[in-house]
Amino acid sequence: MEDTKIPEEEKAARSLNFIEEIIEEDIRTGVNDGRVHTRFPPEPNGYLHIGHAKSICLNFGLGKKYNGKTNLRFDDTNPVKEDVEYVDSIMEDVRWLGFDWEERLFYASDYFEQLYGYALILIRKEKAYVCDMTAEEIGETRGTPTRPGKESIYRSRTVDENLDLFSRMRAGEFPDGSRVLRAKIDMGSPNMHMRDPVLYRILHAHHHRTGDQWCIYPMYDFAHGQSDSIERITHSICTLEFEVHRPLYDWFIREIGIYVPRQIEFARLNVTYTVMSKRKLLELVRDGNVSGWDDPRMPTICGLRRRGFTPESIRNFAETIGVAKRDNVIDVSLLEFCVREDLNKRANRLMAVMNPMKVIIDNYPEDLVEEMECVNNPEDELKGKRKMPFSKTLFIERDDFMEDPPNKFFRLAPGREVRLKAAYIIRCERAVKDPGTGEITEIHCTYDPQTRSGMPESNRKVKGTLHWVSEKHAIKAEIRLYDRLFTKENPDDNEEGKTYKDYLNPDSLKVITAWIEPAVLSAVIEPAVKTAGYTTSGSSAAGIFDKYQFERTGYFSVDKDSTPEKLVFNRVVPLKDSWSKVEKVK
């Protein structure tokens, strides 16, 4: 990169990334009159994933930061793989992430006529020719990076002949694959992309926007740079694999003689324990390895949304990882850290028991129900308080009781005391077992009425505090616990004879039932406003995407499968990073 004139100290203080440095230098030197115009250019051939989110945040973020503009442009040059379903989902995802393309929604297919005109310019300049070789023949004569390719025998066709054949290609006179239009550049170029690349192919396919108007379609490489140019994009930001295409894009722009955008490449985002290519994600969906594009285990934006990630957490993640010039893999725990941090501030707390153990308070009156006051979010006083019913029969987590515990076990055990959060200190008197199986079926406790939380005399301290719910007030809900979709950090790095699919984690989804305090009902069953802007859900159940912290357990989000009769929650993330704990133990 050129030496930018921004002083080192200033760069460090403002911690500009390398793209921002380029842009600021361009602004400073008056390139494009200081205008900044970026774009996000997805191909509508699948749903967006977290890697795209990175690109969206980057492009729209730069537009915002430099008072510029950002276009959304669909690079829809391949009718065979593209679909309006994808177009719609992409728009929804970009909006959900919090970005706005305003009136600047474009499609490469809008430029088909213009691109055709550019092709004619090249033909007239003897820079393009119609080639009758088959795709295989073209492949075979391309050579290798160390061996030059062979020139096509059709390379010497006259301008008139090329114009005639190209217009007849457009008119539909020839079958698919019989002819292509190629650039006439250099079959000996060390850059394979410069070896007379194909510009147009014949494809009698219906396009989701242009219908049957065209039977020749431009290649992505012939459309992308020119689309940027037509939209007068100042900084065309793309991933590293396009670096080697840049000379070709520059060649097109120069030969056609149109506005020159500046292409800047950055490293694609990879995340551990997942795959990121749309092709593979589509395979997982088609083969039923996941329930759909929005399966909460998928790295897709709609999957993350359904899982319970917030736009803020994803934007924060994108910001934190920054932009790199070399390929790297980001630990998925960083993404989880970002959502935890966000939900900690925003999610109300509830108590929920996942694996219940019945607790009977022997000295508590049979029919008494007391309302215990609980803080909704200790991080945010404005979230207020709620009441939680306490009664004689409760549930606690099975793991919170041990019949014969080690010394350091500060939870419940015979003869030991714990505090039930927001309620009383209880003491375990005895455990009752099933005589057949020996399994503990219930535990009997006594409570100390002087220890009610918040009361002046409740100062007595015990080491452990447990969450609990009142049996007769608890609401049953289905809970979906997710783990990594793959067991291998990089599933694409497969051993011989294996594919990424061999590393699918068979335990990535576990469904359990939980008992949740009744406040979950008033919180969840409310007008269906939260579903606004989420059109793929198809469910009218209220409160979808409501998020909670279940005390001591994790963050949970209401799934779209919820109905007023049955609540379904997705676990967004456990409270702590259980994986890093495992690593520490090792």
Q: Which residues lie near Mg ion (CB under 5 A)?
A: 43
How many residues touch ligand ATP under the rule CB under 6 A: the total is 14
Distances (CA, A) of 144 to 277, 471, 560: 26, 72, 51
Question: What is the smallest separation between the CB atom of 250 and ligand ATP, expressed in angstroms?
Answer: 18
Q: What is the DSSP letter of 144?
A: B
Question: What is the smallest separation between the CB atom of 291 and ligand ATP, expressed in angstroms?
Answer: 20
List the beta strands (DSSP E) in 449-546: 465-466, 469-470, 475-482, 509-516
Question: What is the smallest separation between the CB atom of 305 and ligand ATP, expressed in angstroms?
Answer: 18
CB 77 within 8 A of CB 219: yes
Question: What is the smallest separation between the CB atom of 48 and ligand ATP, expressed in angstroms?
Answer: 8
Q: Which is nearer to ligand ATP, 44 or 311 (CB)?
A: 44
Q: Which is nearer to ligand ATP, 214 or 242 (CB)?
A: 242
CB 444 within 8 A of CB 432: yes
Question: What is the smallest separation between the CB atom of 288 and ligand ATP, expressed in angstroms?
Answer: 21
The residue with its CB nearest to ligand ATP is: 51
Under rule CB under 6 A, which residues in 302-341 are in contact with ligand ATP? none
Question: Is 586 considered catalytic here?
Answer: no
The residue with its CB nearest to Mg ion is: 43
Decide: helix, strand or coil at residue 507: coil
> Among residues 81, 104, 262, 268, which is the contact residue for ligand ATP, using CB under 6 A?
268
Q: Which is nearer to Mg ion, 43 or 336 (CB)?
A: 43
Give one DSSP letter per residue of 542-583, joined into a string.
Answer: TTTT-EEEETTTEEEEE-TT--SS-EEEEEEEESS-HHHHHH
Which candidate, 227, 236, 224, 222, places its Cα nearest to that of 265? 236
Question: What is the smallest separation between the CB atom of 504 and ligand ATP, expressed in angstroms?
Answer: 19
Question: Is residue 54 at the binding interface for ligand ATP, with CB under 6 A as the rule?
Answer: yes
Question: Is 43 considered catalytic here?
Answer: yes
Catalytic residue among 278, 307, 427, 488: 278
Question: Is residue 41 at the binding interface for ligand ATP, with CB under 6 A as the rule?
Answer: yes
Q: Which is nearer to ligand ATP, 10 or 241 (CB)?
A: 241
Specify the amino acid at residue 109. Answer: S
Those residues whose C-beta lies under 8 Å from the C-beta of residue 241, and which sit 6 or more positions away, are 268
Q: Which is nearer to Mg ion, 88 or 241 (CB)?
A: 241
Question: Is 307 considered catalytic here?
Answer: no
Structure-token match 């993640």, residue found: 317
Which of Mg ion, ligand ATP, none does residue 277 bind (CB under 5 to 8 Å by kind)?
A: ligand ATP
Q: Which is nearer to ligand ATP, 151 or 283 (CB)?
A: 283
Decide: helix, strand or coil at residue 537: coil
Question: What is the smallest separation between the CB atom of 50 and ligand ATP, expressed in angstroms?
Answer: 8
Question: Is residue 269 at the binding interface for ligand ATP, with CB under 6 A as the rule?
Answer: yes
Give one DSSP letter per residue of 34-90, joined into a string.
Answer: G--EEEE---SSS--BHHHHHHHHHHHHHHHHTT-EEEEEE----TTT--HHHHHHH
Question: Is residue 278 at the binding interface for ligand ATP, with CB under 6 A as the rule?
Answer: yes
> Among residues 277, 450, 499, 535, which is the contact residue for ligand ATP, using CB under 6 A?
277
Catalytic residue among 24, 43, 92, 231: 43
Under rule CB under 6 A, which residues in 90-109 are in contact with ligand ATP? none
Window contacting ligand ATP (CB under 6 A); options: 130-138, 161-169, 274-282, 473-481: 274-282
Window contacting ligand ATP (CB under 6 A); options: 40-48, 105-113, 391-399, 538-546: 40-48
CB 75 within 8 A of CB 106: no
CB 483 within 8 A of CB 577: no
Catalytic residue among 268, 346, 358, 552: 268
CA 90, 93, 95, 97 torsion: positive or negative? negative
CB 420 within 8 A of CB 446: no
Question: What is the smallest separation between the CB atom of 46 and ligand ATP, expressed in angstroms?
Answer: 6
Distance CA 193, CA 230 (A): 22
- Neighbour count for residue 292 (Cβ, 10 Å): 15
Which of ligand ATP, Mg ion, none does residue 318 bind (CB under 5 to 8 Å by kind)?
A: none
CB 48 within 8 A of CB 93: yes
Q: Which is nearer to Mg ion, 43 or 517 (CB)?
A: 43
Distance CA 472, CA 394 (A): 8
Q: What is the DSSP letter of 365?
A: -
Question: Is residue 239 at the binding interface for ligand ATP, with CB under 6 A as the rule?
Answer: yes
Q: Which is nearer to ligand ATP, 115 or 275 (CB)?
A: 275
> Among residues 51, 261, 308, 554, which is the contact residue for ligand ATP, using CB under 6 A?
51
The residues binding ligand ATP (CB under 6 A) are 41-43, 51-52, 54-55, 238-239, 268-269, 276-278
Catalytic residues: 43, 268, 278
